Amino acid sequence: MTDRNELLEAAFDTVPEGVALVGAEGEVMLWNQAAQGITGYAAIDVVARTLPEGMETLLLEKTRDADDGAMVGVGRRVLVRVRHKLGHRVPVIARALVLRDGLGERIGAAALFHPAESLDALPHGESNEDLGADEGRDEFEERLQTEFDDFTRGGSPLSVLWIGVDQAQELRRTHGASACNAMLEKVRHALIQGLRPAEEMSRWGDDEFLIVAHERNEEMLASHAHTLAGLARTADFRWWGDRASLTVSIGAAQADGNYAETLAQLLGRAREAMETSSRTGGNRATVAASHDADLSPAEESTCLPS
């Protein structure tokens, strides 16, 4: 006769999501077949043990509120990275739940998770040539993902600024790639002067840059974008005696913790805002609309002084 535990395990093995049930002392009580397929760990590897190193992010245990011990983001889907049995990191969308008995006492936790490969592909700017000049872009992507994961667990505010150089394509057409790259380097140095201490910037396409920032609200983000655009205009670029006036189109987006937005979607909003700035003449800063605004993707597009 089939016992209750066998029936429960068989039921969870039909679920397409990974399921982990963890007891009050941190020991794994159940680990279904989907969890094995995602992480490489079989039930025999984890049941009656604590979660393997690098898997504890599934339960968001590192984000407990200091006052009441509640787990920040519990019940919400969060993009996290777990360590596969073979050692590499796997991006998953996880949802953690606190389990309580009839008296309200915490008796354990559950995690439901599924792969996020399709969400992990981050949008980049157009690239018609090798961007090997920016050898740190992979590290920048890792830092960007880390910052986003921290934000989803209740960390610092997060925003991104997608910056396109308005004159880049024309300069490449008339003066060649060398001139364009020299001009982009001038713009990069000018923008660096406006970065906050905790901000980072990377080349994000042939003619584009991306900045990860921590502005507290959209008003401060718009002000910061305007400052950066002004610094770009101060870049004095000359090529064989010809002087080029430089302007940038900026799209900025603020992450919103009230919505289960992925990093790719946040970047997509910033890119749409940058494209709005470019289509409307360049030399503009556009802040992407917040999720609860009944507006188009670009809610504020400001033409900047020449």
Burial code (b: 16+ CB inside 10 Å, e: under 16) for 274-284 equals bbbbbeeebbb
What distance in Å separates the CA atoms of residue 143 and residue 116, rounded to the nearest whole number?
18
**Segment among 45-54, 228-237, 254-263 with least mean pLDDT:** 254-263
The single residue listed with the structure tokens 């039930």 is: 43
Closest CA to 248 of 263, 262, 237: 237
Model pTM score = 0.61
Which position has the higher pLDDT, 150 or 217? 217
Mean pLDDT of 178-198: 93
CA dihedral 6, 9, 14, 20 (to 10 degrees): 180
Q: How many CB atoms lie within 10 A of CB 86?
A: 8
What distance in Å separates the CA atoms of residue 57 and residue 90, rounded to the nearest whole number?
11
pLDDT bin (cut points 50, 70, 90) of residue 297 is very low
> At residue 107, does pLDDT exceed 60?
yes
Going edge to edge, which strands form the sheet with 28-31?
28-31, 18-23, 106-115, 89-100, 77-83
The 10s digit of each residue's pLDDT in 108-148 is 999 999 887 544 467 877 766 444 445 567 778 878 888 98
The 10s digit of each residue's pLDDT in 45-95 is 999 999 998 888 888 654 333 333 333 344 466 777 888 999 888 888 888
Q: For residue 137, what are its two tokens? A: 């872009």
What pLDDT shows up at residue 120?
47
Domains in the chain: ranges and CATH: 4-117 (3.30.450.20), 121-303 (3.30.70.270)
Q: For residue 149, what are its two tokens? A: 């994961």
Going edge to edge, which strands form the sheet with 284-288?
200-205, 208-213, 159-165, 248-254, 284-288, 298-303
Q: For residue 56, what are its two tokens? A: 């504890």
Terminal-residue alpha carbon distance, the chain: 81
